[in-house]
Amino acid sequence: MKVVILAGGFGTRLAEETSSLPKPMVQIGTYPILWHIMKIYASHGFNEFVIALGYKAEIVKNYFLHYDDLSGDLTVDLRAGRVDKVRRHDEDWLVHLVDTGIATMTGGRIKRLENLLGNETFMLTYGDGLCDVDIAALTTFHRARKAVATITAVRPPARFGNVAFDGAGKVVGFAEKHQSDEGWVNGGFMIMEPEIFRHLKSDADVLELDLLERLAAQGGLHAYKHEGFWQCMDTIRDRQYLERLWASPQCPWKRW
């Protein structure tokens, strides 16, 4: 299956970083979050990617155009004008970089990829979220239910605790809010059948509203519940948290 990654949005909630970069190119450690997402899929054996570009598409294209040189070791012979690649990277990826329009909505970006994806089942995720989901188990779940589309349902990280106080307003303690207290949300890491293209009509279509909600109403959408790690990168605080995890010995999404 090809893996489609939505990487064309403006990333306005992370404006401190995205004024000069598209959000998927914001770095976690020394690699863009897009690279981390691709490594997750590659660790499960999925090596063909379709990157749906929009805002600052040229930066993503330039990254992959020069990936071979920038990811390995080089010996530059200035006198002879020759460059020898001493150590190459390990990625055996096939990457399709498709400009789907700067103002196109998420559903419209997928629609623009119809000819490339053909009549095949494909993976789909957002360009700003990391997860340790078992993609093999997700795929088995999707096929067993003969779903038109399957999302990975996750619990968003809990951000706030609760204040406990008596009837007079006196604070008597604090209670930490647990992730399990939150509801389920779509964490990306989806699987789609080509049937979904019948529901997408134009650049203005939104993935959640014009596809997923319609499929849910028709009984064609399933959710694989993932209780493990998931984190999106919406804010500087999120990025800093992911940076700490990446630097730790037990980075939850690193399976390679």
Q: Could you report the per-residue pLDDT of 51-95, keeping only the tens digit for each?
A: 999 999 999 999 999 888 777 777 888 999 888 877 667 889 999
- Long-range CB contact pairs, 92-95, < 8 A, 24+: 92/47, 93/38, 93/42, 93/47, 93/48, 93/49, 94/47, 94/48, 94/49, 95/48, 95/49, 95/51, 95/64
In this prediction, residue 167 carries a pLDDT of: 66
d(Cα 19, Cα 141) in Å, to the nearest integer?
Answer: 39
pLDDT of 166 > 80? The answer is: no
State the first-to-last Cα distance of the chain, in angstroms, to the nearest integer: 20
Share of the chain above pLDDT 70, in %: 89
Per-residue model confidence (pLDDT) at position 72: 73
72-81, 112-121, 200-209: the lowest-pLDDT one: 72-81
pLDDT value at residue 149: 98
pTM above 0.85, yes or no: yes
d(CA 69, CA 60): 15
Is pLDDT at 181 greater than 60 in this prediction?
Answer: no
Q: Name the CATH superfamily housing domain 2-247.
A: Spore Coat Polysaccharide Biosynthesis Protein SpsA; Chain A (3.90.550.10)
According to the model, what pLDDT value does residue 169 have? 63
CA 7 to chain centre: 8
The first and second tokens of residue 155, run together, are: 């619990």
Q: Which residues, other chains included, contact 3 with Cβ-Cβ below 8 Å and sequence gap of 6+?
A: 38, 41, 46, 48, 49, 50, 122, 123, 124, 125
- The letter for the amino acid at 74 is L
- Report the pLDDT value the prediction gives residue 234, as an integer from 0 to 100: 92
Which of 106, 124, 22, 107 lies closest to 64 in space, CA to CA?
Answer: 22
pLDDT digits (tens, 9 = 90+) for 207-246: 999 999 999 999 999 999 999 999 999 999 999 999 999 9
